[in-house]
Amino acid sequence: MLIDDAYIYLHIANNILDVGTAQYYPIVNNDSLLASSPLRMLILVPATALARIFTSNDYSFFTSQLTFVFSGLLTALLFLPWFWGKWQWFWAGMLFNGIMSVATLVTVWQMEGALLFWCIYTLAWLAVHKPLSAQVIRQIGYVSGLLLFSRPEYGFVTLLITYISLASSKHRWTWLLAYTRPLLIIAVVWILLAALLQVWFIPTSYLSKIMTGKLDFFSADFGDLLVDNISFYFFYNLLILTEESRRYITVMIIAVLGIYGVLLSRQHRFYLLYCIGFVLLTALLYHSPGNYLWYNENYFIAITTISFFVMMQTLLQQQKHYFLTGMSFILTMLLTVSGTSHRFFHIPVSYIEKNHIYENIAKHHQGHGLFKFPDLSITYISMMEIGVVSYLAGPTIWLDDKGGLAQAGTLEGTQQSSLAIFYPKRLLINGMPEIQTLCQRDQIEPCLLHDTWAMQSENPEKYVAYYFPQYKIGLNPKALAFMP
């Protein structure tokens, strides 16, 4: 299954290589940054350059898959220096990360899941296996900064836990300064790099995704990741889970992991931090955007990574009873991840056809954001999912983004949001000023904008893309049913 947002990152990486900017639509000089994980975006740049060496088409699905593979390897290499000389821990991390990748937890393969794993895994390693000193605290600060620029919400939780822990130590001022300095260095470097890449240093996607609604925690949608996939993989023909049972089973498994941490907290201070982090991450999930699968998966990656490290630690300390208990919970989580394999090995025809539709839409791009479809005048288009089409069409694409990622002002209430103070007003507009600029500059008459969306037809295995008149600037366009 291809995640459309993964191709938003790939499109930005291509723009950096081809145009020298991280702007999503360079043709309108829109300096919004759509990458919620800036570090993921930066890793994709060399990964894309490597993938292009082995392909003849810079904008193809095959190139994108190679890019994902190279990005995973580069992510591991980024954290290798912290494990230099301790190869057993590095290879254990590689193996565990590989298991999650093979099990097709999509955020590991296509999004920032690998970064999230390595950041948390490295932080746990530094906190437990290095005698605490100002130098080690400084290293923890650098990894915390990388986590903050990988997934800001998890970075915030880490900063909160670390500052509380350091403030209670007898070397508090020395260690707090050692921890803060790397964070400031990374922040300054990023602000300068964002200016060089011609984008605002705070991603507008933070604001857009918060405005799309909150996750219904422990709901059927949430349980789909944890429980439904297990039932699909093992008991699909034997067990039909109700929404209520999904809630209870999800709560039970997460509660058991929490209790495991409480038991371990009596043995070592690190396990107390495990408990605090577990509670904060669970509370954080209540405020995650509700329509993004990988936000659920990020939570499970974070919790499973911490639990995996705890299990390895108890094994080294020869606490066999804790190790066996932890192993049972880890196996539960890995079975959950493995249960998602049907999404990769048994991809519904609808997903494949949907991607083909988006590929066909991109083929009709004429440049400068204009599209020419059969029986339809040349037009601009509006879409809910902009990633795949943008990636395949190249740097001269322009789309009216109904999801509000590229044009945050499309979403109702954006300008009234408390987060709006962190953005210039020019980034809080919808797509209308941009299309008017394009029409005037390129002398397009009539200036048309058609609504585009991949909608499911009566046949559940078929997708049809419909083009409906959403807006008009000039002639009123007619609706068009279109299949590739």
Say if residue 194's pLDDT is above 90.
yes
- Percent helix, percent strand, percent coil in the chain, to nearest 5: 65, 10, 30
**Mean pLDDT for all residues in the chain:** 75
Which segment of 184-198, 226-240, 295-309, 425-439 scores lowest on mean pLDDT?
Answer: 226-240
For residue 214, the model assigns a pLDDT of: 55
Say if residue 190's pLDDT is above 50.
yes
Cα 19 → chain centroid: 24
Contact 280, 312 (CB under 8 A): no
Q: How far is it, in rounded angstroms, from Cα 204 to Cα 212? A: 13
Using DSSP, how many helices (H) and how many strands (E) does the chain show? 20, 7
Smallest CA-to-CA distance from 121 within 340, 327, 311, 323 is with 311
Band (pLDDT 50/70/90 cuts) for residue 233 is very low
Could you tell me which residue, 247 or 296, shows the higher pLDDT? 296
For residue 377, the model assigns a pLDDT of: 79
Residue 69, φ and ψ in degrees, nearest 5:
-65, -50
State yes or no: cis peptide before 46, omega within 30 of 0. no
Which segment of 55-64, 319-328, 464-473 scores lowest on mean pLDDT?
Answer: 464-473
Which segment of 191-200, 347-356, 381-390 scores lowest on mean pLDDT?
Answer: 347-356
For residue 42, the model assigns a pLDDT of: 96
Residues listed for the chain: 484
Return the structure tokens found at 324: 């066996």
**C-alpha dihedral sign at 238, 249, 111, 461:** positive
* Per-range mean pLDDT, top range of 79-93, 201-215, 411-425: 79-93
Say if residue 226's pLDDT is above 80.
no
Distances (CA, A) of 450 to 114, 402, 435: 38, 12, 12
Which segment of 54-68, 180-194, 269-283, 357-371 scores lowest on mean pLDDT?
Answer: 269-283
Contact 141, 181 (CB under 8 A): yes
Q: How far is it, in rounded angstroms, from Cα 450 to Cα 201? A: 32
* Per-range mean pLDDT, top range of 26-35, 89-98, 280-289, 349-358: 26-35
For residue 478, the model assigns a pLDDT of: 38
Task: Note the pLDDT tens digit of each residue in 93-113.
Answer: 888 777 666 555 567 778 888
Single-letter amino acid code for the residue at 221: D
Average pLDDT rounded to a whole number, residues 50-54: 93
Average pLDDT rounded to a whole number, residues 50-74: 89
For residue 271, the model assigns a pLDDT of: 58
Could you tell me which residue, 66 or 297, shows the higher pLDDT? 66
User: What share of the chain has pLDDT > 90, as a percent?
Assistant: 27
Say if residue 224's pLDDT is above 60.
no
Return the structure tokens found at 261: 């941490």
For residue 9, the model assigns a pLDDT of: 96
Could you tell me which residue, 75 or 476, shows the higher pLDDT? 75
Task: Note the pLDDT tens digit of each residue in 137-170.
Answer: 999 999 999 999 998 888 888 888 888 878 877 8
Residue 464, φ and ψ in degrees, nearest 5:
-125, 135
Return the structure tokens found at 373: 């479809």
Pick left, alpha or beta for residue 69 (phi over 0 → left; psi -120 to 50 → alpha; otherwise beta): alpha
Band (pLDDT 50/70/90 cuts) for residue 384 is confident
Distances (CA, A) of 415 to 212, 250, 269: 14, 36, 44
For residue 262, the model assigns a pLDDT of: 57
Say if residue 123's pLDDT is above 70.
yes
For residue 229, the model assigns a pLDDT of: 43
User: What share of the chain has pLDDT > 70, as a percent?
Assistant: 64
Band (pLDDT 50/70/90 cuts) for residue 129 is confident
Contact 371, 364 (CB under 8 A): yes
Smallest CA-to-CA distance from 31 within 429, 449, 447, 392 is with 429
Smallest CA-to-CA distance from 110 within 120, 118, 119, 100 is with 100
For residue 228, the model assigns a pLDDT of: 42
Average pLDDT rounded to a whole number, residues 302-309: 74
Task: Note the pLDDT tens digit of each residue in 412-466.
Answer: 778 778 888 889 988 988 888 898 888 888 887 778 888 776 544 334 333 334 4
